[in-house]
């Protein structure tokens, strides 16, 4: 269980004339000039509105490359020239690989780990140090600090924290580099249990069979595992009950890895200290409004809520755009592509 796949290269591609690239990912629009400048000479780029299915399908009629995290069976059917579908991120679950013509390459890219590590570290400090609570209090003139109010709790720095990683791919590993700089102690569990604890300078590592021990001993639990049949509900009521009452849970993997009902109950009953939630149980079907879960997490004062934005910085997508342009250049030159997920058969 890791939060990423290892980078892979595809077999040497046959050199191809790349005439048209369709970009149907709104996150790349601000980087349009840089992306187009990095492509081979003579390549035309079409930028349909990613939210307009008709416009995207019309643009695909003569496309050699589609840059998008989505490629439905319908999209594949109207794109007879398609050679490469390149996601502008790690996820390819919305690409209907079975509908692609044989030989079509599906690739992805990463670069979100630095921005996500910033999020994890900053939210851990914010919640562990009680800054959200102090912020709310001082807005009402209350100085919630043991220096002014002896009833206020003393808090601990990261130097005394044990950080438990549920999933230790490139996201978890980058987070650990930052936590380690503050003197924290780290432990990790993964599906395969193949993390070299000594090499990573972790106190120990294990498999999901050791999840209970990790939860019992961690002050901060970072969930970066992907959502699979095996990880859905991996952390439920029984697992949350093993966490420390002042522990902080940070989920940047996928919402349903942590059972929603159990998490809401644990937070509302103060069975755990706090949570930073960047991944959710419900997403807007369209537009930018909609409740992120089936419970009113927004009413809890021990939850930091963010809209799946931990990896969303300009730097993330600038690097992704450069990766995608480079892969298109390799395809045109008949060179091996990088970060290939699969070649349709």
Closest by Cα among 34, 17, 43, 105 to 336: 105
Tally the residues of the chain.
345
**Residue recorded with tokens 């963010």:** 306
Coil, helix or strand for 122?
Answer: helix
Every domain of the chain and the residues it spans: 20-111+313-343, 113-305
pLDDT score, position 15: 53
**What does the pLDDT look like over 158-190, one tens digit per residue?**
999 999 999 999 999 999 999 999 999 999 999
Q: How confident is the model at residue 35 (pLDDT cuts 50, 70, 90)?
A: very high
In tens, the pLDDT along 49-96 reads 999 999 999 999 999 999 999 999 999 999 999 999 999 998 898 999
User: Does 3.30.70.100 match the CATH number of domain 113-305?
Assistant: no
For residue 341, give the 3-state DSSP assignment. Answer: strand
pLDDT tens-digit readout, 269-284: 999 999 999 999 999 9
Confidence (pLDDT) at 14: 57
Residues 216 and 242 sit within 8 Å (Cβ to Cβ)? yes
Domains 20-111+313-343 and 113-305 in one fold: yes
Task: Evaluate whether 221 touches 247 at the Cβ level (below 8 Å).
Answer: yes
Question: How confident is the model over 280-322, as pLDDT tens digits?
Answer: 999 998 889 999 999 999 999 999 999 999 999 999 999 999 9
Phi-psi region of 254 (alpha: psi -120 to 50; beta: other; left: phi over 0): beta
**Residues of the chain above pLDDT 90, percent:** 93
Q: What is the pTM of this model?
A: 0.88
Buried b (16+ CB within 10 A) or exposed e, 176-203: bebbbeeebbbbbbbbeeebeeeebebe
User: What CATH number is given for 20-111+313-343 in this structure?
Assistant: 3.40.50.720
Residue of 106, 24, 44, 28 whose CA lies nearest to 318 = 28
Band the pLDDT of 3: cuts 50, 70, 90. very low
């Amino acid at each position: 269980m890791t939060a990423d796949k290892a980078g892979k290269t595809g077999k040497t591609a046959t050199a191809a004339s790349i005439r048209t690239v369709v970009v149907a990912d709104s996150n790349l629009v601000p980087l349009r000039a840089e992306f187009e400048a990095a492509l081979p000479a003579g390549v035309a780029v079409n930028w349909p509105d990613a939210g307009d299915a008709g416009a995207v399908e019309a643009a695909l009629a003569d496309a050699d490359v589609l840059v998008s995290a989505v490629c439905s069976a319908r999209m594949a059917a109207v794109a007879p020239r398609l050679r490469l579908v390149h996601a502008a991120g790690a996820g390819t679950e919305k690409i209907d690989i079975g509908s692609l013509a044989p030989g079509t390459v599906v690739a992805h890219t990463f670069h979100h780990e630095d921005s996500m590590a910033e999020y994890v570290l900053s939210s851990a400090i914010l919640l562990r140090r009680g800054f959200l609570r102090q912020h709310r209090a001082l807005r009402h003139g209350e100085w919630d600090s043991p220096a002014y109010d002896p009833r206020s709790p003393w808090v601990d720095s990261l130097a005394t924290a044990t950080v438990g990683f549920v999933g230790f791919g490139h996201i978890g590993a980058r987070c650990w580099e930052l936590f380690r700089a503050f003197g924290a102690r780290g432990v990790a569990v993964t599906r395969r249990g193949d993390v070299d604890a000594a090499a990573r300078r972790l106190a120990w590592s294990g498999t999901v069979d050791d999840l209970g021990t990790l939860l019992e001993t961690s002050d901060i639990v970072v969930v970066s595992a992907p959502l699979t049949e095996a990880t859905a509900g991996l952390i439920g009521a029984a697992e949350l009950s093993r966490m420390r009452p002042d522990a902080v849970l940070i989920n940047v993997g996928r919402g349903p890895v942590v059972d929603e009902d159990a998490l809401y109950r644990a937070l509302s009953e103060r069975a755990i200290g706090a949570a930073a939630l960047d991944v959710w149980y419900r997403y807007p079907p369209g537009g930018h409004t909609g409740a992120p879960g089936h419970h009113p997490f927004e009413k809890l004062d021990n939850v930091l809520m963010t809209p799946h934005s931990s990896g969303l910085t300009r730097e993330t997508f600038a690097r992704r755009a450069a990766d995608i342009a480079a892969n298109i250049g390799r395809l045109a030159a008949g060179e091996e592509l990088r970060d290939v997920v699969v070649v349709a058969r």
